[in-house]
Amino acid sequence: MKIEQNRIDDLNLELTLSVGKEDYADSRKKRLNDFRKKAEIKGFRKGMVPMSLVEKMYGQQALADSVNDVIAEALNNFIQENNLRVLGEPLPSEDNPQNEWTDGNDFTFKFDIAQNPEVNFELSKDDEIVYYTITVTEAAKKEMKQNMLRQYGSLEEGDAAKAEDFIIVDFEQGENKVEGTYVALRNIAEAVRDSFVGVKPGDVLDVNVNEAFENETDRASMLKVKKEELAALEPVWKMTVKNVKTFVDAPLTEETFEKIFGVKTEAEFDEKIEERIRAEYAQEADFRFSKDAKDFLVKKADVTIAEKFLKRWVYVANEGKFTMEDIEKEWDLFIADYKWQMVRSYLMKKYEVKVEEADLLASAKGFAAYQFAMYGMNNVPDEQLESFAKNILSQEEQGRRILDQVENEKTVAAVREVVTLKKKKISVEKFRELK
């Protein structure tokens, strides 16, 4: 086996592998003997098939497999012996020589190899990362107060439907009848939504459901059919408005204050509103710092990636699941994340960041609590949360997402102790405008 290397640049090299008969002959012979032992051919006892017939049936496969084995071993040895930090795995060169696949021939193959760059940089108190301290404005308090009252409001009978209202309708198309369907006007396609605003009980409209309800899943649910049955239905239906339901905000009463925050007066209610905003935006400030820290660290590391090779590798590794156009479309996000993964690995090693099972469980429990809260379940017993969290961690994709999140959090926390946080006051409104 002869290997020649051509260094393209600091990150890319091309290997030319010359494979002679002596490199693959023994492996090919062994493979043919294995085929002979296993072959079941009418007229011959198992294991007694003439080698000439085995050669005819399996010769090309044995040749290809043995040559590929030789190549794989040679590439692996080359990578290990040269301590290469390989990006992905070697790929056949786009200008690979043509080989005639005949036993006894010599073969020549070219492979492209890309290396990950070495990450190495220092942090100190001279490095500054902005940390926003968010001031709560009267406008922000008023907005949240309105939202809370709306959240705890009720659906009541309305007259003419407004853009945020619901209508209860019957659909009819020949013998097909669907009664008592709830339709949220905000879910109607924007292009035709205005034609639904102002409808009243008793109104009858001819509606093209394909235009009005673009999401097929929602359309199927609304018409009470299976998604695959939609194509067989005519798009135009007669829609009869039965009722209009409008949201009415909860009143500013002691009962409302008690229900939402467990307080009795509007002044106490307003205090709780401000506390809620401060707590929420403290989390938002931490999240923003994490994002800004990651951007700062990637820029500080100044890593250069063999992007042309990486695009090819992503395409090949995903076995045609994505086109190159798909990859190009998402490339900026992908390469940013790829660089961060490299930087994070370096920082975790540098600052001895460890992720324990307890860290993963705590994060999964937090996620579980959030999921329950979305359904109004805010006092779930700890043992139930823990059981739900363990189930999350047992799922490969979810477990990987939790691990990634915890590694990010602990890495940023370690960095936070080393750099200087440049405190910057900002209003809620201005903070929202940040990209």
Arithmetic mean of pLDDT, 13-40:
91
Domain count, the chain: 3
Q: Is residue 253 part of a domain?
A: no
pLDDT single digits (tens) 392-404: 999 999 999 999 9
Arithmetic mean of pLDDT, 282-289:
94
Asked if residues 164 and 276 have their Cβ atoms less than 8 Å apart, the reply is no
Pull the structure tokens for residue 319. 């076995």
Gap between the Cα atoms of 416 and 414, Å rounded: 5
**Boundary of a domain, candidates 216, 248, 280:** 248
Residues 206 and 274 in one domain: no
pTM: 0.73
pLDDT single digits (tens) 200-216: 999 999 999 999 999 89
Q: How confident is the model at residue 306 (pLDDT cuts 50, 70, 90)?
A: very high
What pLDDT score was predicted for residue 79? 94
pLDDT single digits (tens) 214-257: 989 889 988 988 988 888 889 999 999 999 999 899 999 999 99
Arithmetic mean of pLDDT, 14-34:
93
Asked if residues 285 and 134 have their Cβ atoms less than 8 Å apart, the reply is yes
* Cα 8-14-18 angle, rounded to 5 deg: 150
Pull the structure tokens for residue 257. 């204050």
Q: How confident is the model at residue 188 (pLDDT cuts 50, 70, 90)?
A: very high
Q: How many CA atoms lie within 13 A of 409 on its CB side?
A: 15
Residues 213 and 285 in one domain: no
Q: With the C-alpha atoms ordered 295, 296, 298, 303, is the resulting torsion angle positive or negative?
A: positive
Q: What is the mean pLDDT of the chain?
A: 92
Arithmetic mean of pLDDT, 15-21:
95
Other CB atoms within a 10 A radius of the CB of residue 375 amount to 7
Total number of residues shown for the chain: 435
pLDDT single digits (tens) 407-435: 999 999 999 999 999 999 999 999 999 98
Q: Is residue 258 part of a domain?
A: no
Q: Is residue 336 part of a domain?
A: yes
Asked if residues 14 and 6 have their Cβ atoms less than 8 Å apart, the reply is yes
Residues 290 and 396 in one domain: yes
Arithmetic mean of pLDDT, 26-50:
84
The 3-state secondary structure of the chain reads CEEEEEECCCCEEEEEEEECHHHHHHHHHHHHHHHHHHCCCCCCCCCCCCHHHHHHHHHHHHHHHHHHHHHHHHHHHHHHHCCCCECCCCEECCCCCCCCCCCCCCEEEEEEEEECCCCCCCCCCCCEEEEEEEECCHHHHHHHHHHHHHHCCEEEECCCCCCCCEEEEEEEECCEEEEEEEEEHHHCCHHHHCCCCCCCCCCEEEEEHHHHCCCHHHHHHHHCCCHHHHHHCCCEEEEEEEEEEEEECCCCCHHHHHHHHCCCCHHHHHHHHHHHHHHHHHHHHHHHHHHHHHHHHHHHHCCCCCHHHHHHHHHHHCCCCCCHHHHHHCHHHHHHHHHHHHHHHHHHHHCCCCCCHHHHHHHHHHHHHHHHHHCCCCCCCHHHHHHHHHHHHHCHHHHHHHHHHHHHHHHHHHHHCCCEEEEEEEEHHHHHHCC
Asked if residues 335 and 309 have their Cβ atoms less than 8 Å apart, the reply is no
pLDDT single digits (tens) 128-161: 999 999 999 999 999 999 999 988 998 899 999 9
Sheet with 91-92, side-by-side order of all strands: 2-7, 12-19, 107-114, 91-92
For residue 356, the one-letter residue type is: E
Residues 393 and 293 in one domain: yes
Residues 196 and 80 in one domain: no
Q: Is residue 144 part of a domain?
A: no
| C-alpha 213: how far from chain center | 27
Q: Which of 171, 156, 130 has the alpha carbon at shortest distance from 292? A: 130
Q: How confident is the model at residue 55 (pLDDT cuts 50, 70, 90)?
A: confident
Asked if residues 158 and 246 have their Cβ atoms less than 8 Å apart, the reply is yes
Q: Is residue 119 part of a domain?
A: no
Q: What is the CATH number of the domain that holds 236?
A: 3.10.50
Residues 56 and 171 in one domain: no
Q: For residue 236, what are the domain limits?
A: 154-248
Gap between the Cα atoms of 418 and 334, Å rounded: 28
Residues 230 and 293 in one domain: no
Residues 109 and 164 in one domain: no
Residues 213 and 309 in one domain: no
**Boundary of a domain, candidates 248, 273, 290:** 248
pLDDT single digits (tens) 336-386: 999 999 999 999 999 999 999 999 999 999 888 888 877 767 778 888 888
Q: Is residue 254 part of a domain?
A: no
